[in-house]
Amino acid sequence: MNFLYMTIKDLKILLRDRGAMVNLFLTPLMFIVVLSLALGPTFRGPSDSAIRIPVVDEDQSAQSQQIVDALKAIKGVTTETQITDANAARALTRVDAEDLLRNGRRVGAVIIPRGFGEMLARGETARVIVLQDPAQANMANVVMGVATGVIAQVLGDEAARRGADAFFKSLESVLKQLPPQAQSQFDLKKIQRRDTRRRILWSKLKRQALPRGAWKRPVCTNKMCRVCR
């Protein structure tokens, strides 16, 4: 009973002290509201989805389509190339992607500028624009980091293919200068097919989620495989 009386007495004293009431209830509530408004977008993520990436293909070339297909193959990430406007779907534009980021609805966006494929065909450095929402930096760094890695891999594979094509063109010009009997000993088309299949196999294996340090040249264990023989 003494404990109950002491509790009632302390509550009466607390209710009479308005300053203590403010410090006990209102001050923590103010901190919660302020921190929720300031840090809410960082921890909550975008309102629609945390893993949707708008992809704007302004080039519409075969090379840019490779980038789009590679981004679509990322597990756990949904790429958006279209937007619904007035109940009709249309291609996503750069302005649409920037609006989605500005409104906090997406963490990042990928823009493939016009002329991307032509620059790759000429052997020049082609760039892909990657945008991020600074208000959602934590999630944007993770999601867009994966997207950037995929883009770099596709560009690297394309550069390797162009290098191989240039090599076979040079080899073909050299073979034409040899006597017909010597030329018959080289099946250039067969060599090209074998190199293409080997690069496709190597590219597929690279895209698997291997741990750091486990990247080794693939060794085919199929004894009947004609690619590696």
> CA–CA separation, 113 vs 67, rounded Å?
12
Q: What is the pLDDT of residue 127?
A: 84
Name the superfamily (CATH) of residues 52-156.
abc type-2 transporter like domain (3.40.1710.10)
> CA–CA separation, 45 vs 186, rounded Å?
59
Q: What is the pLDDT of residue 19?
A: 75
- Residue 198's contacts (CB-CB under 8 Å, 6 or more residues apart) are 227, 228
DSSP assignment of 32-53:
HHHHHHHHHHHHH--SS-SSEE
Ordered by start, the domain boundaries in the chain are: 2-44, 52-156, 187-229
Section 102-131 average pLDDT: 85
91-106: per-residue pLDDT in tens?
A: 899 999 999 888 888 8
Q: Amino acid identity of 80?
A: E
156-195: per-residue pLDDT in tens?
A: 777 777 666 666 565 566 556 556 665 565 565 665 566 6
11-56: per-residue pLDDT in tens?
A: 777 777 777 777 777 888 888 887 776 666 555 554 444 478 899 9
Q: In the predicted model, is pLDDT for residue 210 greater than 50? A: no
